[in-house]
Amino acid sequence: MKLIIAIIKPYKLEEVKNALADIGVRGVTATEVKGFGRQKGHTEIYRGSEISVDFVTKVKLEIAVTDDAVGAVTDAIVRTAQTGKIGDGKLFVLPLENAVRIRTGETGDGAL
């Protein structure tokens, strides 16, 4: 099992979710987060005083998948979240030791 963590542009969330649903992903956790990468921040101007916003709002997705699904899920996220411009985000794949469905007590792949 693998845990996929993807940082994407907030307005791409709906598209990514639909693409994941299309390939059969049945659970996603989404969190609003702030951070910076190479995009750095941007500047806002209030009555002439420039204010740099260093932390940009992004959405973090956490998706637990079976090993054989990693390729399809990664492809779906990259395909839908990509704009080609700086600030599209990043995706990490981590090994996942176990998963438990709390309702039934199932473990491993069966809990996903």
Partner 1 sequence: MCRSSSPSRARRLAVCLIALISFPAAVSAAGAPETAKLEERLAALEAYVKNTAPDAAASLAGQPGPGHNGWMMTGTALVLFMTLPGLALFYGGLVRRKNVLSVLAQCFGIAGLATVLWWAAGFSLSFAKGGAITGGLDHVFLNGVTSRAGGWLPWVSDNVWAMYQLTFAIITPALIVGAIAERMKFSAILLFVTLWTFAVYYPFAHMMWGGGWFAETLGAIDFAGGLVVHISSGFSALALCLFLGPRLGYGREKMAPHSMVLCGVGTAILWVGWYGFNAGSAGAADGIAANAFTTTTLSAAVGGFVWGLLDYVFKGKPSVLGICSGIIGGLALVTPATGYITPNGAMLCGVVAGAVPYLFCVKLKAVLGYDDALDTFGVHAVGGTLGILLAGLLATSKANPGIDPARSLIDTGSWKLFGAQAAAAGIAIVWSVAATLAIAWIVKKTTGLRPSKDDERIGLDITDHGEEGYID
Residues binding partner 1 (CB under 8 A): 44-49, 51-53
* Cβ–Cβ under 8 Å, residues 65 and 108: no
Closer residue to partner 1 in complex, CB, 44/106: 44
Provide, rounded to whole angstroms, the least separation between the CB of residue 44 and partner 1: 6
Q: Cα–Cα distance between 80 and 12 in angstroms, integer?
A: 7
Closer residue to partner 1 in complex, CB, 47/85: 47
Residue 84 corresponds to which tokens in the numbers above?
């080609």
Provide, rounded to whole angstroms, the least separation between the CB of residue 89 and partner 1: 23
Closer residue to partner 1 in complex, CB, 48/105: 48
Provide, rounded to whole angstroms, the least separation between the CB of residue 111 and partner 1: 32
Provide, rounded to whole angstroms, the least separation between the CB of residue 35 and partner 1: 16
Q: Cα–Cα distance between 73 and 63 in angstroms, integer?
A: 9
48 torsion bin: left (phi>0), alpha (psi -120 to 50), beta (else): left
Q: Cα–Cα distance between 72 and 46 in angstroms, integer?
A: 45
Closer residue to partner 1 in complex, CB, 50/97: 50
Residue 102 corresponds to which tokens in the numbers above?
């709390």
